[in-house]
Amino acid sequence: MTLTLGSGAQTSELRWDTTAAAASTTATSVAAARVPAGPPLPAEFDIAKFESMAQQLVADQTIPGLALAIVHNGRVLSARGYGITDVKAAEPVDGHTVFRLASLSKGFAGTMAGLLVNDGTLRWDSKLTQYMPNFALRDPSAAQRITVADVLSHRVGLSRNAYDRDLEAYVDYRTLTQKLANAPLQCQPGTCYAYQNVAFSLIGDVVFGATGTFYNEAVQRRLLKPLGMNDASLGLEGIQSSPRWARPHVRGRSGWVSVTPKPTYYEVAPAAGVNASASDMAQWLLAQTGHRPDVLPAPLLATLHRPLVETPSETQGSAWRRARVSSAGYGLGWRVYDYAGHELVFHGGAVQGYRGVIAMLPGRDLGIAMMWNSDSSLPTGMLPTMLDRALGLPEQRWMNFEFDEPTIYADATPTAPTPAQNAGGSAAKATAAPL
C-alpha cells in the first residue's frame, strides 16, 4: 500500500538541500514574492455568503459556536467567530476565541519534525530507537526498523488506533507506549497504513531526544511564536488559561450541554494537543501555503504535503469524499487527496465536544480552516461547498440545511489586512457574532 516514497527510499526522497533552503529564506519579502500566485477565485467564491452560512449555523443554537479562517494568495480574507462559547454562560465567539484542534494538531507535529530535519538535527530515516532505546514491539526487529517518517505517516505496523480505548479510559501516555510491546502487528514498519494517536505521539519523544526540549515548548518556540499565533497553546492548561475559549458541547435531552474538556487526548500532544483561534489558523494557513518562508521553507512544505502511503478508505465515508475524492494518501501529518482532479491537503479532527477541518488547494493558493465546539457533523458540509466554488465545480448540496441570502452582518467584511500584518501576528480584525 506504500507509494513510491516507501521506507527504503526515505534517505534520497525525503531530504533537501538545506543550504539552498536557507538561502531562500534570507529575506522574507523577497522569498514571499516568489510564491506563485494562485488564479483569481471565481465570483461564486463569495466570502460574504460563507460568513453568512456560518452565522446561520449558530442561529438558534443549531450549533453553539464556530470559527472560520480563509486565506488566498497570501492574504487573510476572513478570520472570524460566530455564536457563543458556552450555552450556560454565553459569550460571543470572536476571531480570538480558542478552540481545541484535536487531530488538526498532527500537522504541527509533522512540521515541527521537519524543522529539525531542515536544521540537520534529525533525518526522516532516523530510527525511532535512536531516541527511545527502550522502545519495544512484539517483534524486536520491527521496533528497530521504525523511522521518523514511519511514525508521522502512520506506518508503524500496528493495527488501527492502537490503545485509543485505553487512552479514553485515562491510561497515561507512558504506560501506553510500554503496552505497545504487546500489541499485535498487522505488517512490518513502513509497509502499510493504520491511523494512530498513541504511536504517532512517539514523535514528541523524538523531538525531546534530538533537542533536549520538551515537545510542547519546542512547538511554542519554533512555530506558534514566530508565526504570530498569539492565542494558540498546547494542553488542557493552555486552553483553560486562555482569556476566551469555547467550551465543548454534547447533545442533551433539550439541546446542547456544555461539559468539562476531557484531558485524555491532551496526553498525546503531537496527535491532538494544540488549541487555536480563527486568527491563529489564518496565520497557520498562510505559513502552510508558503507565505512565511522565514519560518517554513518551501522545500519543507513540499515534503510534508507529499503522500507516502495510500489510504484508499478515505475515498469512502462522507458524501463529498465519495463524490469528489478519487485517490487519497497520507504524508507527514497531512492527508493528501485528489479532489476532482485537484490536489487537496487536508486533515480533520474530533474529540468530545469539538470538531474541526483544515484544507488547502495548492493550485489555487487557497486555505480554509473551521473549528466548532460541538459534536455536530453539520458544519463539515461547508468545506466541500467552498472547495467546489473555488474550483468552479457544479453546485452540489452537501448540507441538509436551508440557507438564506447573505445577512447584513456577513456583508460587514473587515478591511483587508496589510502585507505587514499578514507576515506578522493576528491579521484579521475579528467581529463577534450577535447573540
DSSP letters spanning 211-249:
HSS-HHHHHIIIIITTTT-TT-EEHHHHHHTSSSBPPPE
Q: Give a yes or no: residue 51 inside a domain.
A: yes
User: Can you tell me the mean pLDDT for 300-310?
Assistant: 98
How far is Cα 84 from Cα 295, in angstroms, rounded to an integer? 33
Q: Give a yes or no: residue 159 inside a domain.
A: no
Question: Which residues span the domain enclosing 53?
Answer: 7-26+42-103+227-423
- Is the pLDDT at 413 greater than 70? The verdict is no
Residue 34 has a pLDDT of 57
Which amino acid is located at 388 in the chain? D
Cβ neighbour number for residue 375 with a 10 Å cutoff: 17
How far is Cα 331 from Cα 93, in angstroms, rounded to an integer? 33
Q: Give a yes or no: residue 301 inside a domain.
A: yes
User: Can you tell me the mean pLDDT for 184-199?
Assistant: 97
What one-character-per-residue DSSP string does 23-55 give? HTTSSHHHHHHTSPPPPPPPTT--HHHHHHHHH
Q: Give a yes or no: residue 297 inside a domain.
A: yes
Residue 334 is classified by DSSP as -
Q: In this predicted model, which residue has the larger pLDDT, 11 or 380?
A: 380
Q: What is the pLDDT of residues 41-70, one digit of tens each?
A: 999 999 999 999 999 999 989 999 999 999
The domain that holds 319 is classified in CATH as: 3.40.710.10
Going by pLDDT thresholds of 50, 70 and 90, the confidence category of residue 402 is confident
Going by pLDDT thresholds of 50, 70 and 90, the confidence category of residue 14 is low
Write down the mean pLDDT value for the chain. Answer: 88
- Is the pLDDT at 403 greater than 90? The verdict is no
User: Can you tell me the mean pLDDT for 322-350?
Assistant: 98
- Is the pLDDT at 420 greater than 50? The verdict is no
Q: Give a yes or no: residue 402 inside a domain.
A: yes
Residue 407 has a pLDDT of 54
Q: What is the pLDDT of residues 346-367, one digit of tens each?
A: 999 999 999 999 999 999 999 9
- Is the pLDDT at 315 greater than 70? The verdict is yes
3-state secondary structure of 381: helix
Question: Residue 208 belongs to what H/E stretch?
Answer: helix 202-211
Residue 418 has a pLDDT of 33
Residue 246 has a pLDDT of 98
Going by pLDDT thresholds of 50, 70 and 90, the confidence category of residue 435 is very low
User: Can you tell me the mean pLDDT for 379-393?
Assistant: 97
Q: Give a yes or no: residue 173 inside a domain.
A: no
Q: Give a yes or no: residue 72 inside a domain.
A: yes
Going by pLDDT thresholds of 50, 70 and 90, the confidence category of residue 406 is low
Number of domains in the chain: 1
Residue 350 has a pLDDT of 98
pLDDT > 70: percent of the chain: 85
Q: Give a yes or no: residue 330 inside a domain.
A: yes
Cβ within 8 Å of residue 319, ≥6 positions away: 398
Residue 37 has a pLDDT of 80
Residue 401 has a pLDDT of 80
pLDDT > 90: percent of the chain: 81
Q: Which of 115-129, 173-187, 389-403 shows the lowest mean pLDDT across its residues?
A: 389-403
Q: Do residues 335 and 347 lie in contact, with contact meaning Cβ atoms separated by under 8 Å?
A: yes
Residue 41 has a pLDDT of 95
Question: What is the 3-class SS of 118-179, one letter each residue?
Answer: HHCCCCCCCEHHHCCCCCCCCCHHHHHHCEHHHHHCCCCCECCCCCHHHHHCCCCHHHHHHH
pTM: 0.88
Nearest in space to 14 (alpha carbons), one of 331, 336, 360, 337 = 331
Going by pLDDT thresholds of 50, 70 and 90, the confidence category of residue 263 is very high
Going by pLDDT thresholds of 50, 70 and 90, the confidence category of residue 255 is very high
How far is Cα 288 from Cα 359, in angstroms, rounded to an integer? 10
